Structure 1
Amino acid sequence: MGPVAFDASLWDEPTTGIGLYARCLASGLENRGVRLLRLGARVSGEDPRGRMGRTTYVLGRLPQALRDSEAPLYHALGNFNLPLVRIPGKAYVVTVHDLIPLRMPETVSRAYRWQFRLWLARSVQVADRIVCVSACTRDDLLARHPEVAHKVTVVHNGVDHVDRYALDATTEDFLRSLSLPQRFVLYAGSLDVRKNVSLVLDALERLKARGRPATLVLAGQSWFGSGSVESRVGRMRAEGHDIRPLGYQSEPVFYELMRRATVFAFPSKYEGFGLPPLEAMRLGTPAIVSTTGATPEVCGEAALAVRPDDAEGLAEAMDRLLRSDTERRRWAEEGRRHAARFTWARCAEGTLEAYESALRR
């Protein structure tokens, strides 16, 4: 196989789920001897886009960059961002992480929803192979585009990237400054409506009403529709709840918080994969997830699960884990064992098979 033209549009940006996927998959592919040409990063790689927006780059400049490239294949990583036209002699692969803008339209802006719908429809038509990160995402895609079933393969994400972050002095000093209690609940991720942080707050109120208050740490950035959650957090803190909103954190802090948390609560209403609870499980922290989306597929029976509207069930699960060392050890061991199956080496292997299949078309 020749070099692969690789979507690097999020390479130089603050880390998001897709950006993490791009970096970890790239590392896994390069470890298998694949040479990547990183196209469309803001300042790095083989064809940096500079001040040009990501959409403008893909639609305007990327087609010519592919024509000029020696790479026989281009891999788009962001759900739908393939060029609109086929380039002779070039195979196309696209990774679809989720169809949340179509399944839960209220969680994104109207403009983005239309962009997603139209560009996804075109991308799956021009793609030679479509990589879905879960069977759940595959089923969502085929419910809308059954005609592309022959192109789709499922390749799960890895989670072993968390192993590379060792505790350093800067992270230690920062965490010490927070004066966190010995036991706390962590939610890590964006604060948008889909993530269902409000259910965690409901559970927190129930625990306090029973005389068993818990500390909640929120590590995540604001997102579309997060205003109501942030307002409620402010009100609850004024009422005496111990809630620590930390905002976006660097990877060393983010993963050390996961490692130190007593419980990781992630009752998201819908995930195309659900990486954060799997990260917590890899780090030995018991996770509580919801019964919807891809989290049952990804976390299996190694995480406690509650319905996304079951505040009482979430409160009970949080309380059990906060109060029982035996329960925590049991779920921590199950979580570590289960998460060990998800590696970026396996993800790279499955992706390479998709490349080879696309090149044979």
Structure 2
Amino acid sequence: MSPIAFDATLWDEPTTGIGLYTRCLASALEALGVQLIRMGAQSSGEAPRAKAGRTAWTLGSLPRVLQGSDAPLYHAHGNFNLPLIRAPGMKYVLTVHDLIPLLMPETVSSAFRWQFRLWLSRSLMVADQVVCVSERTRQDLLARYPEAESRTVVVPNGVDHVHAPALDDTSKDFLRALSLPKEYVLYAGSLDVRKNVDLVLDALERLRPRGRPVSLVLAGQSWFGAGRVESRISRMRSEGFEVRSLGYQSDAVFYELMRRAAVFVFPSRYEGFGLPPLEAMRLGTPTIVSTAGSLPEVCGDAALSVGPDDANGLARALDRLLHSPEERRALAERGRAQAAKFTWKRTAEGTLAAYEAALRR
């Protein structure tokens, strides 16, 4: 196969879910012998965008860069970010991770919601193949754009990028200084409304009056709409609840926090895939998720599940796991087995099949 023009617009940026997907998929494709031309990274790769913003570069410069390339195909990874016009002879593949701006418009800014809707509509018109990371995302996409059905495939993410971390001395000192309790509950992810951290806080408020206090650790960055939950966390801490917000952490610290947790909880109201619970399962941490979005599809019966509004159910699940080492061990084993099904090699193989289908069109 000829070299593939590969969307690298998030390559040099702070790690996000799509950025992680970009780098892990690139490594797995290259391991299969696929040559990639990384386009649009800020400073690295074969066609960096330099100081230009991602949107301006994709709309204004990328079509010209593609025309000057020998690549027969361009793969965009950002849900909607294909060029608006087709470079002559070029095939287009688009990865769609989720449709959150359309499904939950209140969780994003109005400007981004309009950008998403208009640009996605155009991208689907020019895409030769659309890769969805879950069947849930595929069904959500086709409910709104049924004309894309014949060009849409499901290729799940991998999770084998996660390993028990090697900690440097600074990370060890940081974790030691935290003096975390032996058994704590971890939530990892952003604090936006969609992630439903309020449900975890509701569960804590139900458990403490029963003499079942829970130590909660939050690892993740603030996001659009996070102000209200951050205020609630501050109030609960002033009332004596043990809730620690650690903010964004390096990969090594993040995964060590996940590995050490007694329980990982992820009650999101919607996920297009839901990588954090799968990462926790790979590390052997018993996991509780919501029944929303793709989480049942990805986690199967290897995680406990509760409704996204069922605070009493979450409180019971937390209490049960925290007081049953045997159930935690059994759940950890099921979690490892489930996570082992998701490899980046399989993702690369499915993606390569999508490339081949696009080139045949």
Bucket of the pairwise TM-score, normalised by the shorter protein: over 0.9
Contact 2:302 2:335 in 1 (8 A): yes
Tell me the residue number matched to 1:251.
251
Which consecutive segments of 4 or more residues in structure 1 shift more than 3 A? Answer: none
Shift of 1:165: 3.3
**Partner SS state of residue 347, structure 2:** helix
Quote the residue 1:160 is aligned against: 160
2:175 aligns with: 175
Helix, strand or coil at the partner of 1:301: helix
CA distance in 1, matches of 2:163, 2:51: 34
1:84 maps to a residue whose letter is L
Q: Where does residue 193 of structure 1 map in the other structure? A: 193
Contact 2:133 2:272 in 1 (8 A): yes
Partner of 1:324: 324
Q: Which residue of 1 aligns with 2:109?
A: 109
* 1:149 corresponds to 2:152: no
Tell me the alpha carbon deviations over residues 289-325 of structure 1, each in whole angstroms, 9 at most, x when there is no partner: 0011000000001000000000000011111111111
Kept in 1, the 8 Å contact 2:292–2:308? The answer is yes
Number of residue pairs aligned between Structure 1 and Structure 2: 361
SS at match of 1:160: coil
Residue identity opposite 1:338 in structure 2: Q
Q: How many Å separate the matches in 2 of 1:222 and 1:28?
A: 31
Aligned to 2:87: 87
Residue-by-residue CA offset, 1:175-216 (whole Å, 9 max, x unaligned): 111000000000000000000000000011111111111110
**Which residue is equivalent to 1:57?**
57
Matches within 5 A, 1:184-223: 184-223=184-223
Sequence identity (%): 72
List alignment gaps of at least 5 residues for structure 1.
none
Cα deviation digits, residues 56-87 of structure 1 (max 9, x gap):
00000000000011111100000000000011
Q: Distance in 2 between matches of 1:111 and 1:62?
A: 22
Runs of at least 5 residues in structure 2 that lack an aligned partner in the other structure = none
SS state at 1:74 partner: strand
TM-score normalised by structure 1 residue count: 0.99
Counterpart CA distance in 1 for 2:96 and 2:130 is 7
Q: Which residue of 2 aligns with 1:14?
A: 14
Q: Secondary structure at the match of 2:342?
A: coil
Summarize deviations over 1:313-348 as a string: whole Å, max 9, x none: 001111111111101001000000111000000000
Superposed counterparts of 1:176-325, under 5 Å: 176-325=176-325
- Shift in CA distance, 59/307, structure 1 to aligned 2, threshold 3 Å: same
Question: SS of the residue aligned with 2:162?
Answer: helix
Structure-2 separation of matches of 1:93 and 1:209: 53
Q: 2 CA distance for matches of 1:8 and 1:18?
A: 10
Instruction: Output the aligned Cα RMSD.
Output: 0.8
Equivalent residue, structure 2, for 1:354: 354
Preserved CA contact (<8 Å) 2:11 2:19: yes
Cα pair 2:159 2:278 within 8 Å, conserved: yes
Q: Secondary structure at the match of 2:341?
A: coil
Q: Matches of 1:177 and 1:348 in 2, distance apart?
A: 40
Give me the whole-angstrom Cα distance separating, in 1, the residues matched to 2:62 and 2:164: 33
1:75 aligned partner: 75
Partner of 2:98: 98
Using the TM superposition, give the Cα deviation of residue 164 of structure 1 relative to its aligned residue in structure 2, in angstroms.
Answer: 6.8
Q: Could you give the per-residue CA deviations for residues 219-246 of structure 1, whole angstroms, max 9, x where no partner exists? A: 0000000000100000000000111100
**CA-CA distance at 1:170 after TM superposition:** 2.7
Which amino acid in the other structure matches residue 310 of structure 2?
Answer: D
